[in-house]
Amino acid sequence: MAKTKPKFHTKICDILGIEYPIIQAGMGGFSDPPLVIAVSEAGGLGTLGGATYTADGLNEAIKQIRKGTKKPFAIDILLPDSLEDMAGVDKEKLRGYIPEEYKAYEKELRKKFKVPPSYVSSRQVDMWTMEGTKRMLQVCLDNNVPVIAAGLGRLGWVMAECKKRGIKTIGIGANVKMALKHVEDKCDVIVAQGYDAGGHTGNIGTMSVVPQIVDAVKPTPVAAAGGIADGRGLVAALSLGAEGVWCGSMFLLTPEVTFTEGQKDRVIAATEKDAVITKGLSGKTMRQLKMAITRAWDEGPLPPLGWPLHLILMQDIIDYCFDNKDEKMYNEMLVSPCGQATRLLNRRRTSKQIIDDMIKEAIDDLEKGIPGRVQWK
């Protein structure tokens, strides 16, 4: 006899058409179709990290996801606030703005990390230019994807097309000011992302930023993000006024994530002090596991450039490590975004097991844990 699945339902579930209010973060380079499919099939919202795709690659990825699941999923794209912000932007033109002393230091780093001077990354992405960004969004619109999330930037300038097609939208904000911009754009769900989060993040703690954003954007529902990795975190988010969670790090040990076994071992071995903030990879504040490449900037002679110049400068070194990830030296230098809930990430599980465990833990805490710890009558 089939086991009855527990019910755990909020307004976010109704809006996004999902069973549980758990949204998997769109981790560019790490959340590809297998993870998206697994999370959506388990009752959450799987999210493809679109930042590392071309428009053609994104189109194929959407087809792959739809072969694997009939349930809703999201595409996360890095966007400008408006198309005008990207007018005339070209990757090679941007490269020309990189100061000579930074190019010289990059050559020193190639030598230090044994990256051949002649190596040039073959990875193609479309996020660098206005035309590329428009192509990526057009793929999402043409495929009528269920949900689009703005990992960076705003969706206002494409919102009319999304509404026309019934595509739901998620805006991510690390402060009230940005969250209110997403409300102005009429996003369906706002993610309040705290400083605890892995990947690109803000500078306000989760406990502080979530209730402030909840109060500011009512009645738009909020999903909390940052340091949430089990049922207790889900309950805490609900207590702060959120109606769901946006989680990335808790999926890093799954078989479906695009993470090497070496990266997973590093996550398991990490303490809460090992997930550090750096600008040494992209030029934006990013939380990830300590690594030699970022230390070369954080402790080096030059401060990191801003985004996207710094990412363009570092792209060849970063991609060489990925190309040679089977070698221990380069595996230890792979970009490994991770939030501060590291000690909770201590065992390998499938995405389904993680979601099932989170819901069970949350229900147990609501029914037994909190009543056992607190008396209010």
pLDDT digits (tens, 9 = 90+) for 257-311: 999 999 999 999 999 899 999 999 888 889 999 888 889 999 999 999 987 889 8
Q: Is residue 359 part of a domain?
A: yes
Q: What's the rounded mean pLDDT across residues 93-106? A: 91
Backbone conformation region of residue 31, classed left if phi is above 0, alpha if psi is from -120 to 50, else beta: beta
- Which CATH number fits the domain that encloses residue 109? 3.20.20.70
Q: How confident is the model at residue 80 (pLDDT cuts 50, 70, 90)?
A: low
Q: How confident is the model at residue 82 (pLDDT cuts 50, 70, 90)?
A: low
The confidence score (pLDDT) of residue 282 equals 85
The more confidently predicted of residues 209 and 52 is 209
Q: Is residue 377 part of a domain?
A: no
Nearest to 184 by CA among 194, 200, 173: 173
Sequential DSSP letters for 204-231: S-HHHHHHHHHHHHTTS-EEEESS--SH
Q: Is residue 374 part of a domain?
A: no
Q: How confident is the model at residue 89 (pLDDT cuts 50, 70, 90)?
A: low
48 with 171: CB under 8 angstroms? no
DSSP-derived letter for residue 67 is H
Q: How confident is the model at residue 2 (pLDDT cuts 50, 70, 90)?
A: low
> Would you state the structure tokens that stand for residue 134, as one six-digit string?
């428009």
Interacting residues of 82 by C-beta distance below 8 A, sequence separation 6+: 154, 156, 157
Per-residue pLDDT tens digits for 148-201: 999 888 888 889 999 999 999 999 999 999 999 999 999 999 999 999 999 988
The confidence score (pLDDT) of residue 364 equals 96
Does 247 score more than 90 pLDDT?
yes
Which range among 66-70, 138-142, 308-312, 370-374 shows the weakest confidence by mean pLDDT? 308-312
How far, in Å, CA of 37 to CA of 140, rounded? 17
Q: Is residue 2 part of a domain?
A: no
* Domains held by the chain: number: 1
| Cα-based angle 41, 46, 48 (whole degrees, multiple of 5) | 135
Q: Is residue 6 part of a domain?
A: no
> Would you state the structure tokens that stand for residue 269, as one six-digit string?
């071995």
128 with 57: CB under 8 angstroms? no
Which range among 19-33, 224-238, 299-313, 349-363 shows the weakest confidence by mean pLDDT? 299-313
Helix spans in 96-184 (H): 100-112, 130-142, 159-165, 176-184
How far, in Å, CA of 368 to CA of 327, rounded? 48
Q: What is the pTM of this model?
A: 0.93
How far, in Å, CA of 81 to CA of 299, rounded? 32
Q: Is residue 305 part of a domain?
A: yes
Per-residue pLDDT tens digits for 11-68: 999 999 999 999 999 998 899 999 999 999 999 999 999 988 999 999 999 999 999 9
Q: Is residue 196 part of a domain?
A: yes
Rounded to whole angstroms, what are the CA distances from 231 to 104, 196, 234, 348? 48, 17, 5, 17
Query: CB burial class (10 A; 0-12, 13-18, 19+) of residue 199?
Result: buried
Q: Which domain holds residue 349?
A: 11-363
181 phi, psi to nearest 5 deg = -65, -40
Q: Is residue 201 part of a domain?
A: yes
Q: What is the 3-state secondary structure (H, E, C) of 15-62?
A: HHCCCCCEEECCCCCCCCHHHHHHHHHCCCEEEEEHHHCCHHHHHHHH
Mean pLDDT of the chain: 91
Q: What percent of the chain has pLDDT over 90?
A: 73
Nearest to 76 by CA among 5, 3, 2, 153: 153
Does 84 score more than 60 pLDDT?
no
